Amino acid sequence: MIMMMEMTYTEMGEAIVADEIYDVIIIGGGASGMTTAIYSARAGLKTLIIERELYGGQMQSIDLIENYSGFDTISGEDLSEKMFSQMMNYDVEYKNAEVFNIARNVGQTIITTVYTTIGWFETKSVVIATGVKHKELDYVGNTKWKQLHCATCDGFMYKDKDVLVVGGGNSALTEALELSNVVKSVTIVHRRNEFRAEKILVDKVLSRDNITVLYNYVLDLAFPDASFVVLKSTDETSLISSRSFHVDGIFTYVGVEPQTEYLESLLPKINDSYGYVSTRGDLSTELVGVFAVGDVRSSSPRQIATAVGDGAHVVKSIKDFIEWRELC
């Protein structure tokens, strides 16, 4: 068994110590985690969901969702609220805390202890639903500048100003479109000669008057206050090897990485070469009683719809495991 780490305490007083065993603890309160909680509670399982920030996860920062069935358009904030409200209609315990370690006691029965910043909790099964976070763009030279990743959170600070967006996927173009509604101008820098995003997003970007696209360029240098940038051409045939100009802020969307830092003691057994959690068809991992759903999975398409599907799917696997566990 992994030794218990030093317990932390909250300003409210002593940390919580487990006095009961949950059927399932879900780590992460995004779309996959909340859906898992809904289906788990409906199945009669004693359910705890733990989220360190705001329920909804990255969904909260999406200005407009256009590809979720049942809604022509809906904001990420509104969809998060609807999911959370529905979840809390069931017998689900919700705690706002950060998980910093998981320990497993594989004896006659399998018990997993989840250590958090408000105490520790014991469970028969664990669902990893902590999703992904934005990667930081590698800094060039010795200069560091503030990298922004959320138009909804930070766009208002750049009202009537000029911003740079680095990236060419769905996230970059979605955020550029949202920024264009607030800022004076958006310049998108993409290292390739065409975007990787969905056509509908590309068409919208190319039709927006205050968005300029620079293909075949990478960010080569930025002032510490992100007020001036130098771009380097990736096209060896181009007559223009670099560009430089003033900006007021830099938003970077160069991929994502899994949020699995708290799983350090378990990762060698359950992660792939990129750090994502590997799962079988039933969403179980190599560790008995540990499951994963949503964007944190290695084979996830990273869509809200598929995250919700994972949440619905995994509960049958959890029930089967608990029934097997009780027979052992």
Indicate which CATH number applies to the domain containing 295: 3.50.50.60
Distances (CA, A) of 150 to 2, 115, 165: 37, 30, 11
pLDDT-derived band at 44, boundaries 50, 70, 90? very high
pLDDT in tens, 91-125: 999 999 999 999 988 665 778 999 999 999 999 99
Do both 84 and 115 map to the same domain? yes
Q: Is 23 exposed, middle or buried (0-12, 13-18, 19+ CB in 10 A)?
A: buried
Inside any domain, residue 205: yes
Q: Residue 52 has what pLDDT?
A: 95
Residue that terminates a domain, selected from 199, 229, 252:
252
The CA distance from 130 to 33, in Å, is 8
51: CB partners within 8 A, 6+ apart = 28, 29, 33, 57, 94, 95, 96, 97
pLDDT in tens, 149-204: 999 889 999 999 999 999 999 999 999 999 999 999 999 999 999 999 999 999 99
Do both 113 and 183 map to the same domain? no
Do both 130 and 268 map to the same domain? yes
**Between these two residues, 188 and 139, which has the higher pLDDT value?**
188
Do both 161 and 245 map to the same domain? yes
Do both 247 and 260 map to the same domain? no
Residue that terminates a domain, selected from 199, 233, 252:
252
Structural domain span for residue 215: 151-252
**Residue 246 φ/ψ, nearest 5 degrees:** -85, 140
Residue that terminates a domain, selected from 217, 252, 287:
252
What single string gives the DSSP state of each residue in 160-172?
TSEEEEE--SHHH
Do both 128 and 269 map to the same domain? yes
Q: State the total domains in the chain.
A: 2
Mean pLDDT of the chain: 90
The pLDDT of residue 16 is above 90? no
DSSP letter assigned to residue 17: E
Inside any domain, residue 291: yes
Do both 56 and 34 map to the same domain? yes
Tokens found for residue 309: 């599907």
Do both 122 and 20 map to the same domain? yes
DSSP letter assigned to residue 137: P
> In one letter, which amino acid is 203?
D
